[in-house]
Structures are given as C-alpha cells and as structure tokens.
Amino acid sequence: MSEASFRKEVEHTIKLYEKEIGHVATRTWPMIERYGEVEALSRLMVSADLQQGFKVLRDRNQLNNTFEALVVRFKHLFKPDVVQAAQWRLDHAYELL
C-alpha cells in the first residue's frame, strides 16, 4: 500500500467525518496541512485525548474508517508505538468515552 493511497484514505476519512457532523473538520485540515498525514495521525494516536472523529465514527459503526484503523492498515508508515496506540484504541473502542 502506497503513501499516495494512504493520503487518499485520510482524506476519505475526514470527508466521512464531515458528512456525519455536517460541517468542515476545522481542526483536522490545518493539522494535516501543518504536519502532513503521517505526523498528524501519529500525534493524534499518542495523544491522551480521544478525538471527536473517532467517537463519531465509532458511534456510527464505522471503526474501520477511523484514523486508528488507517494507522493499523498502513503500519509500515508509522513507528511501532503509534501503531500499538492505534490498535489499543480499536481494541477498547467501546470502553472509551
């Protein structure tokens, strides 16, 4: 899986989230622009905060479309601790508030 297809999937995930919330993801786009997709998602995965996008997509039974799922699918682009954090969130998705 290429980095180009990863970037397309990141954009797809953001658009799904925006469709669910009915407005632009005003924090996500600037973060992607500032850090790039890999670094932005890495920062989100190791953050103590659970992002709104994860909660929204989880609550709509779309865990496979979360940034966490992308990190696990494209694990070759990320450091092991980032992949581990993403997998942990997916494994405990319904225990997280």
Flag the least confident range among 3-7, 61-65, 93-97.
93-97
pLDDT at site 78: 97
What does the DSSP 8-state code read for residue 53?
H
pLDDT at site 1: 77
Structural domain for 49, as ranges: 3-95
Number of domains comprising the chain = 1
Could you report how far apart the first and last alpha carbons of the chain are, in Å? 32
This prediction has a pTM of 0.93
List, for residues 23-66, the tens digit of each pLDDT value: 999 999 999 999 999 999 999 999 988 888 999 999 999 999 99
* pLDDT tops 80 at residue 97: no
Place of tokens 């996500």: 28
Q: Tell me what the pLDDT averaged over the chain comes to.
A: 94
Cα gap 76→24, rounded to integer Å: 29
Cα gap 61→88, rounded to integer Å: 17
Structure tokens at 1: 């899986």
